[in-house]
Amino acid sequence: MSNQTTIDRLRVLLAALDPSTDLTGDEAALLGRLATHFVVPATDNMWLALAVLHAEFPTHDQVVDGIRRIRLDGAASVLKQVAHSPVRRGLFGLHPVRPVRVVTGATFVDVHHTARTGLATGIQRVVRKTIEQWSQSHDLLLVGWGSAFGALRELSEQERANALYGTHPNAESEGVAEVTVPWRSTYILPELAVEAERTARISALAEFSGNASYVIGFDCVPLTSAETTGLGMGGAFAKNLAAVARFDKVATISGAAALEYRGWRRMLAGAGLTGPEIEPVLLPADAGTVTAAELESAKESLVMDELPLLLCVGSHEPRKNHLAVLSAAELLWREGHEFCLSFVGGNSWGGQAFTTQLEQMQERGRPVQTISAISDALLWGGYRAAACTAFPSLNEGFGLPVAESLAVGTPVVTSDFGSMKEICEQGGAVLVDPRDDAALAAGIALAMFDPEVNQRLRDEAARRENKDWNDYATEVWEYFHKSS
- Per DSSP, which regions of 125-211 are E strands? 141-145, 152-154, 179-183, 186-189
Burial class (CB in 10 A: 0-12, 13-18, 19+), 24: exposed
pLDDT of residue 451: 97
State how far the Cα of 163 lies from the Cα of 112, in Å rounded to an integer: 8
pLDDT in tens, 272-304: 999 999 999 999 998 989 999 999 999 999 999
CA angle 89, 96, 175 (to 5 degrees): 130
Domain boundary among 60, 88, 116: 88
483 or 218, greater pLDDT: 218
In this structure, are residues 398 and 415 in contact, taking their beta carbons and an 8 Å threshold? no
Percent of the chain residues topping a pLDDT of 70? 95
Name the H helices within 138-194: 157-165
State how far the Cα of 319 lies from the Cα of 395, in Å rounded to an integer: 7
Same domain as 257, residue 217: yes
Domain boundary among 37, 53, 88: 88
* 23 has pLDDT over 60: yes
* 119 has pLDDT over 90: no
Domain boundary among 22, 56, 88: 88
* Structural domain of 50: 3-88
Q: What is the CATH number of the domain that holds 269?
A: 3.40.50
pLDDT of residue 249: 98
Residue 395 maps to a domain: yes
Residue 94 maps to a domain: no
Same domain as 177, residue 105: yes
Residue 93 maps to a domain: no
In this structure, are residues 392 and 228 in contact, taking their beta carbons and an 8 Å threshold? no
In this structure, are residues 423 and 403 in contact, taking their beta carbons and an 8 Å threshold? yes
Average pLDDT over residues 318-327: 96
Same domain as 403, residue 357: yes
Same domain as 106, residue 58: no
Residue 322 maps to a domain: yes
Name the H helices within 166-302: 196-208, 221-224, 233-244, 255-268, 292-302
Burial class (CB in 10 A: 0-12, 13-18, 19+), 467: middle
pTM for the full predicted model: 0.92
pLDDT in tens, 168-190: 888 777 666 799 999 999 999 99
With a CB cutoff of 8 Å and minimum separation 6, the contacts of 258 are 217, 252, 278, 279, 280
With a CB cutoff of 8 Å and minimum separation 6, the contacts of 374 are 120, 344, 345, 346
pLDDT of residue 1: 37
Residue 360 maps to a domain: yes
- Amino acid at position 216, single letter: I
Same domain as 320, residue 277: no
Residue 467 maps to a domain: no
Same domain as 138, residue 243: yes
Same domain as 353, residue 267: no
Residue 70 maps to a domain: yes
* 346 has pLDDT over 90: no
Same domain as 271, residue 138: yes
pLDDT of residue 141: 98
Q: Model confidence at 92, in pLDDT bands (50, 70, 90)?
A: very low
Q: What is the CATH number of the domain that holds 371?
A: 3.40.50.2000
pLDDT of residue 484: 63
Same domain as 319, residue 264: no
- Determine which of 117-121, 403-407, 413-417 has the lowest per-residue pLDDT on average: 117-121
- What is the domain count for the chain? 3
For 206-239, the DSSP string reads HHHS--EEEEEE---HHHHTGGGS-TTHHHHHHH
Percent of the chain residues topping a pLDDT of 90? 83
Q: Model confidence at 121, in pLDDT bands (50, 70, 90)?
A: confident
State how far the Cα of 276 lies from the Cα of 247, in Å rounded to an integer: 5
State how far the Cα of 314 lies from the Cα of 400, in Å rounded to an integer: 9
Same domain as 192, residue 46: no
95 or 141, greater pLDDT: 141
pLDDT of residue 98: 80
CA angle 61, 83, 37 (to 5 degrees): 75
pLDDT of residue 3: 39
Write phi, then psi, for 321 (nearest 5 degrees): 70, 35
In this structure, are residues 222 and 234 in contact, taking their beta carbons and an 8 Å threshold? yes
Alpha-carbon separation of residue 19 from 7, 15, 23 (angstroms): 16, 5, 9
pLDDT of residue 89: 44
State how far the Cα of 460 lies from the Cα of 172, in Å rounded to an integer: 46
Residue 448 maps to a domain: yes
pLDDT of residue 169: 86
pLDDT in tens, 360-383: 999 999 999 999 877 889 999 999
Same domain as 128, residue 186: yes
Same domain as 48, residue 159: no
